[in-house]
Structure 1
Amino acid sequence: MKVIGLIGGLSWESSAHYYRIINQETRERLGGVHSARSLMWSVDFGEIERLQHDGQWDALTLEMIDAARRLERGGADFIVLCTNTMHRMASDIEGAVAIPLLHIADPTAERIKAADFTKIGLLGTAFTMEQDFYKGRLTDKFGLDVLVPDAEDRRTVHEIIYKELVAGVVRDESRDAYRGVIARLIERGAQAVILGCTEIMILVHPEDSAVPLFDTTEIHAVAAVERALAIA
C-alpha cells in the first residue's frame, strides 16, 4: 500500500471527511480492520483565507510547496491536495517535488465522462468558478462544457462557503439558496453539477438537485485509495 500525503486544513472540516472516506474505502476494499497509510500536513486556514482574499497567490504557492515537500520528506508516495481552490498552483507543486500530485479535477471529469455527461455546472469558491485553472482543465483535457452561476449566484455560493461551511455551520436557508443556484444551472442546460468546493458536500446532498451531483471530496478521496492500492 502506497502512502497518501494529504495537504489538509483547507478547511479542516473537509479534511476530516477526506480522512474518514479514505479509511472507510480502504477497509471496504481490504476487509477486516485495515486502514490507509497516510500523512497529513494541515495548514492554518485563517492565514490561507486571508491570503486568498488579498490576492497573495505567490505566498500561497510557497505555502503549498512547503507542505508538499514536508510530505515528500515524510515518506508520502503521492500528494492529495484536499481542496479545489488551491489547485490553482497544482503545476507549481508538481514542479517542486519528485512525487506525483493526484489532481482533483481529473477523477471528477473521468466520472462525468463515464456517465456520458458533456454539459456540467460548477459550484465552488469565486476563485474556482471565475478563474480558468479549474474550468480550463475540464474543458481542455476532457472536452467538457462548463457552466458557472451568474454573478449574484456566484457571490452567494462563495459567501456561504467562507462565512459558514468552513466553520462547520450548516443552515437550512443556505441549503435552499444552493438549491436555487443549482436549479438555475439546470435551466441553462446543465446535465449534472460538480460540487467543486470540498465543503459543499456538508450542505448539499443528492436530494437537493434534479440532476446528478459529483462530489469532489468523495471522488478525490476514493481515487486516492485506488492510487494507494495500485488499482488505478
Structure 2
Amino acid sequence: MTPAEEPAVIGLLGGMSWPSTLTYYRAVNEGVAKALGGSHSARMVIWSQDYAEVERRQLAEDWEGAGALLAAGARRLAAAGADVLAIACNTMHRVSGAVRAACDLPLIDIVEVTAEATRSRGITRAAVLGTRFTAQGGLFTGALAARGIAPVLPAAEDQRLVDRIIYEELCRGTVSDTAASAFTDLRQRLRRDGVDGIILACTELGLLIPPPERVSPEIVDTVAVHVEALVTASLAGRPGPRAATR
C-alpha cells in the first residue's frame, strides 16, 4: 500500500467485557497479518469502558445512560484518529443509534454482519444465544427474519442459565468446566429441537466452545464475523463521512 492507501484506523469501543476486548484485539491483528503478510498488524485505537458502569446500566435497563457512555467513547475514538467504529459487545448494540449520532464515523454493525453470515451459510432456523437483553431486544430477530431465517430464542430457564454464565463468569474472566458442559448440553438440545444454526450473540460465549468446534459452519460466532468485517473495512482504506456500513 502507498501512504495514500494505508489502512483505515479501527476505533473499538471495548471493555464490555475486557475478556472479549482481548479476543478482538488478537483476532483483528491476526486477520491483518494474514491478509498483508510479514510483520503487518492492525491500525487500531481502543476506548475501554469500566464494565461495572456498563453492567449497572444494563441491569437497570437504563439504555439512555448506557448510550451516553458509548457516545462519549465514540467521540474519544474519533478525536484519537479512528476512521471506522465498532462496538465490541452484542448487548450494547441496543444503543448503536447513540453511537452513530455522536460522530460522523461509520459503524460496522455486528448484528447486520452476523445476520448476513448466517444467511450465507444456508441456515434456516437459528438459535440466538446471548444476554436476555440481546435475545429479547429484537435486533437479531429482526435482522434474521428480514433474510428469511427463523430466529429461535432459548426457553426462560435456559435464558437464566446463559445470563448467569455471562454475567457471573465470562465477564469476570472465568471459564469453568461446569459452564462449558451446561452450554454444550443446551446447544445439543437446541439441535434436537430442529435448530440448524447457533448464533453466539455474546462476544464471550465462544470461550465456552473448543476452537475446533467453534469453526463449524453451524456455529456463527459474532466475534469472528465482526472481526472479518472490521479487517475488510480497514484494508479497504479510509472511508468518507457516513460511508455505507455492512
Q: Same fold (TM over 0.5)?
A: yes
Q: Who is 1:152 aligned against?
A: 157
For CA contacts below 8 A with separation 6 or more, give which structure has more relative contact order: 2
Q: Give the stretch that moved more between structures: 147-156 or 47-56.
A: 47-56
Q: What CA distance in whole angstroms lies between the structure 2 residues aligned with 1:116 and 1:210?
A: 13
2:206, 2:214 within 8 Å by CA — same for their partners in 1? no
Q: 5+ unaligned residues in a row in structure 2: which ranges?
A: 1-6, 238-245
1:176 maps onto 2:215 in alignment: no
Distance (whole Å) between structure 2 residues aligned to residue 210 and residue 20 of structure 1:
20
Contact 1:80 1:103 in 2 (8 A): yes
Contact 1:191/1:211 (CA < 8 Å) preserved in 2?
A: no
CA contact (8 A) 1:183 1:209 kept: no
Aligned to 1:87: 93
Amino acid at match of 2:75: R
SS in 2 for 1:33: coil
Amino acid at match of 1:188: D
Distance in 2 (CA, whole Å) between partners of 1:58 and 1:192 is: 32
Is the aligned partner of 1:164 residue 2:169? yes
Alignment of 1:47-196 (within 5 A): 47-140=53-146, 142-196=147-201
TM-score of the two chains, using structure 2 as the length reference: 0.89
Q: Aligned partners of 1:90, 1:196: CA distance in 2, in Å?
A: 15
Partners in 2 of 1:135 and 1:68 — Cα distance?
Answer: 26
How far off is 1:115 after superposition? 1.2
**Aligned-pair distance for 1:187?**
2.4
The answer to whether the 8 A contact 1:108-1:219 is kept is: yes
Task: Give 1:11's aligned amino acid.
Answer: S
Indicate if the aligned counterparts of 2:121 and 2:217 stay in contact, CA closer than 8 A.
Answer: no
- 2: CA distance, partners of 1:187 / 1:136: 24
Q: What is the deviation of 1:221?
A: 1.1
Secondary structure of the corresponding residue to residue 220 of structure 2: strand
Question: Are residues 1:16 and 2:34 paired?
Answer: no
Partner of residue 39, structure 2: 33
Distance 1:133 1:106, change over 3 A: closer
Percent same amino acid among aligned pairs? 39
How many angstroms apart in 2 are the aligned matches of 1:155 and 1:99?
Answer: 36
Instruction: Look up the equivalent residue of 1:195 and give its one-letter code.
Output: L
The code of the aligned residue for 2:128 comes to L
Q: Which residues of structure 1 form unaligned runs of 5+?
A: none
Query: What RMSD in Å do the two structures reach over aligned CA positions?
Result: 1.8
Residue 211 (structure 1) shift: 7.3
The TM-score normalised by the length of structure 1 is 0.94
